[in-house]
A and B are shown apart, each in its own frame.
Chain A
Amino acid sequence: MSAGRRAIPALLLLLGLIAIWELYVEVKGSSFSTAILPAPHQVASALYDDRALLWSNFLVTAKEVLLGILLAAVLGAILSVAIHFSPTLRRAVYPLTVASQAVPVPILAPVLAFWLGFGLLPKLMVVALVSFFSVVVTTTAGLAAVDPDLVKLMRTFDASRLRTFRHIELPSALPGVFAGAKIAVAVSVIGAVLAEYMGSNSGLGYVILVSEPQLLVARAVAAVVILSLFAIALFALLGLIERLALPWVYRSPAEQAT
């Protein structure tokens, strides 16, 4: 089945949901659609009319999310390796890592803005912080799942701890880094938007923040549509990079049949 045909069920479902949404707003009347929830056709025209504004602010948010996830993947992978080698470090750091996930971004963002200003850096920190945990969990699981018999085998080959890590554990951990980054896509977009809410003058989060009080709800929803599409694209992009970088993780159906 081609990729196009596989997309048909998702597109049909989406069209159905949009139709229901359109009808619902129609029934509720015009005061509802200007103040609470705009109809899809209003969102579509906002997407078109405000395309320059939305695009330039999208680039700001996309940069925050991409760099934030990258930062989370690198730091998360490094911490996972450190935790893998030191049970003491695991006991010390793991509870704090979990706790960091429970800190609401609206509380954290102003503090970061106070320290780091209103530019890219505080948003990057928020995105990295909310993405970090899933990377650490999946990478640590990947490292822990290395077959102990394989480690024994390397010992009979006189491999040092470092070479065993390089040849066995590190490649085993890489799929976990990607899995964690993919899980983090949605939360990282939310994180970037909330960080923009808390202190910024650009980005789609900022667009949403200033559009709502001006009763430009359609524009705010248009920004949300772009964010959703971005999350899907980012998820697909990570999958593509993983496929290219770690081809052994995926096997075509033809190979699996043999």
Chain B
Amino acid sequence: MIEAPPEEPRELNAALDFVRVELVSRGFETRHGRVQALAGMSLHAAPREVVAVVGPSGCGKSTLLELICKLQKPDAGTIEAGPAALMPQRDLLLPWLSAIDNAALALRARGISRVQARSIAAPWLERFGLARFEHTRPAELSGGMRQRVSFLRTLLAGKPVLALDEPFAALDAITRQEMQGWLGHVLESEPRTVILVTHDVEEAVMLGDRVVVMSPRPGHTVSEIEVPLTRPRKRTDPAVVDLRERALTALGVQA
């Protein structure tokens, strides 16, 4: 059998690493009638831009990511996006696979042999501080390590666009802050076009180049806030605090 050539995540198609969502609407039929998740939602991400999307619960953020990942089709509006890989909210690691085989799942999904997939994933585990846990199953990994493996799995899919769905929402506060710092660091060395959905305004300001604030359902963009700050950012930086307050105000939260 001829194996597909190993694809390093670096080799990305530069022409396809943007996201443009124009006036997209999407609704669902449920038992309780029709639910309009998105109505006239627009968003764009330039190549290698990190766009953080914040909004109240149930404002259609996950629907937005699934539309960008082409898992759903919009009812109206247009979506242009490069190939996107999803990082789900729960880590969804496979309990029967070791950390390295979980990280290499996207490679295996493309038909790359186990040996080759592992040899591609191994140096990444080392970079992510997981080398010692290569052969450890998810049940024995900490929450932070599980999210790192989950992120690596999405990264190794080799897609120019990463769709991160509240990646740290399930972690405790301390681990979450650590992981936010870690992700900022990774995106510095491995820049990608990222749509980061979160309900944590501070996370959005810490990680995003731009923060898109969504309305309650039916979701659409109510405000866009540029984050003209270099990384690494400090939570206590007055500029960060100020942007956080602006985002909260846009969300309608009174300080």
Contacts and interface: CB of A to CB of B under 8 A. Distances in A.
Given A163-B108, A168-B94, A156 B139 contact: no
Contacts of B108: 163, 167
Interface stretch (B39-47, B81-89, B211-219): B81-89
A40 B197 CA distance: 70
Contacts of A156: 69, 71, 84-86, 157, 159, 163
Contacts of A147: 92
A5 interface: no
Interface string B81-104: 000111010101011100000000
A248 B137 contact: yes
Contacts of B139: 248, 251, 255
B96 A159 contact: no
Nearest to A258: B140
Contacts of B59: none
B64 interface: no
A153 B88 contact: yes
A150 B87 CA distance: 10
B109 interface: yes
A42 interface: no
Interface size class of B (residues with CB under 8 A): 20 to 34
Given A171-B94, A255-B139, A152 B109 contact: no
Contact of A163 (B92, B96, B109): B109
Given A152-B86, A171-B94, A255-B139, A159 B109 contact: yes
Contacts of B84: 156
Contact residues on A (Cβ < 8 Å of other chain), bracket? 20 to 34
A57 B109 CA distance: 51
A150 B109 CA distance: 12
Contact of B86 (A153, A246, A248): A153
Interface in B104-162: 105-106, 108-111, 137, 139-140, 157, 159
Interface in A148-163: 149-150, 152-159, 163
**Most chain-B CB neighbours within 10 Å: which of A152, A157, A248?**
A157
Contacts of A167: 94, 105, 108-109
B22 interface: no
B245 interface: no
Given A150-B92, A248-B96, A157 B105 contact: yes
A28 to B, nearest CB: 55
Nearest to B140: A255
Contacts of B88: 149, 152-153
B92 A248 contact: no
B96 A246 contact: yes
Contacts of B92: 147, 149-150, 153
Interface of A: 147, 149-150, 152-159, 163-164, 167-168, 171, 246, 248, 251, 255, 258
19 contacts: A149-B92, A150-B92, A152-B69, A153-B86, A153-B88, A154-B105, A155-B69, A155-B71, A156-B85, A156-B163, A157-B105, A157-B106, A159-B110, A163-B109, A164-B109, A167-B94, A246-B96, A251-B139, A255-B139
Instruction: Name the 6 nearest CB pairs between A and B, nearest first.
Output: A159-B109, A157-B109, A157-B106, A248-B95, A156-B86, A248-B96
